[in-house]
Structure 1
């Protein structure tokens, strides 16, 4: 079995780690990891063309993606790219003026659902009609276009932070959208038609990605927790705290990216990055220090079925992966 890892690479400069977070990435990378022989192979090294990004102080990275019918759907900060597998042939690029800090994309029927974190929205985009069909506001307390300008090209803007909700990930189940929200620490539930149905309070820290595995939603929390929720009963929750494997009270890093293969759980941790938005790393508490930042590398960790044992750990920075956004399987 091969896992597909999406993320980014920073500059080789010794000073690059201390650059602002939106000018740190030099390329997006996709790797395949063979779980049997532990081989890790780079498949895609991508740089966003100038036409679709700011001229200066820009960052290039792959964010979270998904796989549907042997195609990889993946986001950069300002594009959705579609690759055919297994050769990773780039088939299509979608880039709209409202794209800023994209975080995730999935395909459902013949539409794409794109998380546009920079504008606090999820966009429904028709692949056949080549146009936006609907916009789901992830901070419904304020109209999206009272905050943002429809005429502006947000691909040319480095950052729109601070965000009001910071949506990270979208999942569709029973014709409903489940959107993780960073600021609210919850999952906002929309109907496909655009009606807010529910929100699932998580309150375990900042949630990132979430997908369905068998009968459960499984969410990563950046502070090193995994939340399992019965997809048919949101009151049934189980919290797994992976910090129990860290004996020296250091942060595990930014917990983001999850995949399950048979009885094994694969979790990704990314090195803590610098940010001028202190609220983004408040969850570290007294663990926030130069030692933590510089000594906890980006890595892939394999746990057993019940998270009782750590089976394997791979330092991905040795291979040129400096942060991870998703772990996928085809």
Structure 2
């Protein structure tokens, strides 16, 4: 079946989010449906209110990296994981626990849900049917509560920065759970963190997504590079810059990836103010089209021809931060 539409999850900035501080940047969670033929998009879901599982004032509202499980869409916010039935988007359930803080992604493996509680540097494994916690794994192999207290409801805390590991995205390798770590610029096995893949290779460029492409693993970096690794040796095989030496290259924060054969759909968030200026050294000068920055984008890159085939641009009212991209196979 040919791919015609994509789901894009993310959020919109508050006008004064930077001034409010960490954990208060985003005021609207957004899930968009993108038509790949026309470039048109529509909002399927949005969330502008918090609730009992969020701070009372200025909750950080964004949909982060979701996953598909048959006809179920598991869609996370910073502190909750929603299940929606497709294609009618009827809410089936919602799971939330005090150890959920700044969730970056959710993943369905067999009868389990795996949630990255990025703010606590942990990965939380849930029973898919009940939502109960089965296991909490620290991204550095430490006791999950070595730094934080299990008596505190961290859903009500705006930010726990600085993070020690900042786990982003989970994948399976040899039936083991692995997670990407922004701080260490790598991916590690959660049952033995001595097993790792050095994605950054000494460069301070944040690693985000980790997806399978055939028998290879592909990782995104916020500067837009795609890093291809051999899962057996753990070695980097290649790095792809979709825009190469083009002068019209996006200046956005690259995060979110879906792979359909040789076509890579890559998310670029609109740049926002940040105190982490060392992460923005990749921004080039002399950029013509995007010299004043760009809106959030999805870039269609053909890995076989190594050419960008199309750039889809959103508007700030719909989405500014992109976290996840998934296929939508319904009419």
> Among 10, 26, 29, which residue is 1:7 paired with?
10
Number of the residue aligned with 2:128: 127
**For the structure 1 residues 288 and 188, does the alpha-carbon distance in structure 2 shift closer, same or farther, using more than 3 Å as the test?**
same
Superposed, 1:64-143 pairs within 5 Å as 64-140=65-141, 142-143=142-143
- Is the 8 Å Cα contact of residues 243 and 252 (structure 1) preserved in structure 2? no
**For the structure 1 residues 228 and 155, does the alpha-carbon distance in structure 2 shift closer, same or farther, using more than 3 Å as the test?**
same
Number of the residue aligned with 2:41: 40
Q: CA deviation at 1:146?
A: 2.4
Query: How far apart, CA to CA, are the structure 2 residues paired with 1:139 and 1:148?
Result: 14
Q: CA deviation at 1:79?
A: 0.4
Residues 1:206 and 2:206 are matched in the alignment? yes
Superposed, 1:111-190 pairs within 5 Å as 111-140=112-141, 142-190=142-190
> TM-score under structure 2 normalisation?
0.88
Residues 1:285 and 2:284 are matched in the alignment? no
**For the structure 1 residues 147 and 293, does the alpha-carbon distance in structure 2 shift closer, same or farther, using more than 3 Å as the test?**
farther
**For the structure 1 residues 123 and 38, does the alpha-carbon distance in structure 2 shift closer, same or farther, using more than 3 Å as the test?**
same
Query: How far apart, CA to CA, are the structure 1 residues paired with 2:318 and 2:109?
Result: 32
Query: How far apart, CA to CA, are the structure 2 residues paired with 1:247 and 1:21?
Result: 33
**For the structure 1 residues 158 and 43, does the alpha-carbon distance in structure 2 shift closer, same or farther, using more than 3 Å as the test?**
same
Q: CA deviation at 1:267?
A: 1.0
Number of the residue aligned with 1:220: 220
Deviations, residues 196-245 of structure 1 (Å, cap 9, x unaligned): 46111112521101111222211100111001123344235211023525
Structure 2: segments with no counterpart, 5+ residues: none
> Among 308, 311, 314, which residue is 1:316 paired with?
314
Number of the residue aligned with 1:239: 239
Query: How far apart, CA to CA, are the structure 1 residues paired with 2:5 and 2:283?
Result: 34
> TM-score under structure 1 normalisation?
0.88
**Aligned-partner SS, 1:62:** coil
**For the structure 1 residues 319 and 305, does the alpha-carbon distance in structure 2 shift closer, same or farther, using more than 3 Å as the test?**
farther
